[in-house]
Chain A
Amino acid sequence: MRRLGIIITLIVLTFAIVISSTYAWLTYVQKKGFVLLETHEISLTLDVNDMIVVESLILDDLAFIDYEHDFVLNETDTLNIMASTWLIKLESSDTSPLAKHKVTIDGAQPGIIYLVIYEGMNGELTEIITEYDQLIELIISGYETQEEQLAAIDVHNQVVLDEIYRNVFSPGDYVEFQIVIWGNYGALEPQESYLDISFELTLSIESVNSKGEVIS
């Protein structure tokens, strides 16, 4: 009985060897490396005037101007000098996936006028804009009332922020933009003193990968 078992085993073994050899003869197999994929969080750094901002930033040199004489007509040619500016640099980290960044500024309040100026991606615009008066003249031309003119500036600001959101940031890419601010005497309440008043601007950035959309 044991010998019969050995014989059967031998025969089965033979067939197995022969079948596998035959398969090998009839089949050509090649194995190559394929791909490795990895995921990382979207991370970014925010620089304001070359300083890394974590939570808040205080601007204490806000200058007040007369809307009609200084802002619209620039009679004393001091509009550019009176401006307080934040040059903001928003940079995706080297490990971030392709991303989009939605910037919103919540600063609509009487007493301040702010203008957002797009400075381009990855330093594409070599010179930072400082001739604000020309830009303002261009934006508000054709609008008669202060209300219309300020609305035109708001539209311009939103166009800039939308442009930033349209950009897809590769790892290490950055965008620069300015927020230029003036105080507006005329919009203050009679009892308010421009020396004591303070304003709060909230800048928020929502990031999403390049195929997604910020839902808000």
Chain B
Amino acid sequence: MPELFDINKETVLITLRGESMNKLNKSKYRKLAFASVFYFVFALMMTTCVTYAWFTLTNTNNANLVTSISEIEAEYEFFIYQNESRDGSAELTLIDNTCDVGTEDLCYLNILNPTTSILLEGSTAPGERYSFAIRITSVNNPIGTLKLELGDLISEGYDLEENKMQTAFFYQVDKISYINFGVETGDVKDQYEINYNSNFFAYDNDSIYPLVSNVPMQNAGNIDTMIVIYFNLYFDPTIFGQDELGISYLNSNIFLNQWFTIQHIFMSVSTY
């Protein structure tokens, strides 16, 4: 009997301990869940406060974040220089230098809202240069800095990756200027700590090619400001491609019957 009782007593004790453990676990879980939610809300609140404070300090906003977002909006217009001989533009200005109709020569033609790549008329050949201009206008007060990048390349018709015709193309920034009240400034690309780049395209189609960055949206306190970036693409006649053994060819013929497109130009205006 005593043995039997002892056994029963022990069984009861074990049961009691099990219930106690469950209660303990639930309590801990609740505490941890509360802590998680707390930290989550805290992080969100802190970030909101910091963002709010940042916008307030810039003097561009009176606690209305939505207004501030709209103030960094900008629109750009894209121009292709019309040049039958394909020597590129020697007159880098948009003032009195835009085309009224598409058939004019030696002027910048405004391409309205280009959503897809524009086929440059005719077949291209080594030594040719194509000039472009992008005019950026702030929707409201010009704040922040501008960045332009080229990207999303697609190539067809090549035998080896290394022989994509884009590898013979060199992009180059010619001029950066501001237009204030219809008057265009000279070249400012070496001022304001502006970064501008010139380079050949790589055969890797995933790369992004920075054109300009850190370009102030306004110059010297002018409010009615437009920025114009002039740049060109040059088909370098000294790039020849190579054969399977890596030996360079002696002319550019390997780039014949190919095409490539730079699908997009990205414009970013940042206030940070």
B122 lies within 8 A of chain A by Cβ: yes
Complex Cα–Cα for A170 and B121 (A): 11
Task: Report whether over half of chain B's contact residues are helix, strand or loop; otherwise say mixed.
Answer: mixed
A22 lies within 8 A of chain B by Cβ: yes
Do A34 and B118 form a contact, CB below 8 Å, given A15-B43, A22-B47, A27-B269? yes
Q: Which among A18, A31, A34 has the greatest number of chain B C-beta atoms within 10 A?
A: A34
Q: Are A26 and B72 in contact, CB atoms less than 8 angstroms apart?
A: yes
- Given A28-B72, A209-B126, A210-B86: A33 in contact with B116 (beta carbons within 8 A): yes
With a CB–CB cut-off of 8 A, which chain B residues contact A76? none
Interface SS of chain A: helix, strand, loop or mixed?
Answer: mixed
From A3, A37, A98, A210, contact of B120 by CB (8 A): A37
Q: In A3-32, which residues have CB < 8 Å from any B CB? A: 3, 6-7, 10-11, 14-15, 18, 22-23, 25-32
B85 touches A168 (CB 8 A): yes
Of the listed stretches A38-46, A61-69, A119-127, chain B binds A38-46
Query: Can you pick out 18 interface pairs between chain A and chain B where the beta carbons lie within 8 Å of each other?
Result: A6-B36, A7-B39, A11-B39, A11-B43, A14-B43, A25-B68, A30-B74, A32-B113, A32-B264, A34-B114, A35-B117, A35-B233, A37-B120, A37-B165, A38-B123, A38-B124, A97-B124, A210-B86
Give the interface of A toward B (CB within 8 A): 3, 6-7, 10-11, 14-15, 18, 22-23, 25-41, 95-99, 168, 170-171, 209-212
Residues of B participating in the A interface, judged by any CB pair closer than 8 Å: 29, 32, 35-36, 39-40, 43-44, 47, 51, 65, 68-69, 72-76, 78, 80, 84-86, 113-120, 122-128, 130, 132, 150, 165, 169, 233, 237, 255-272
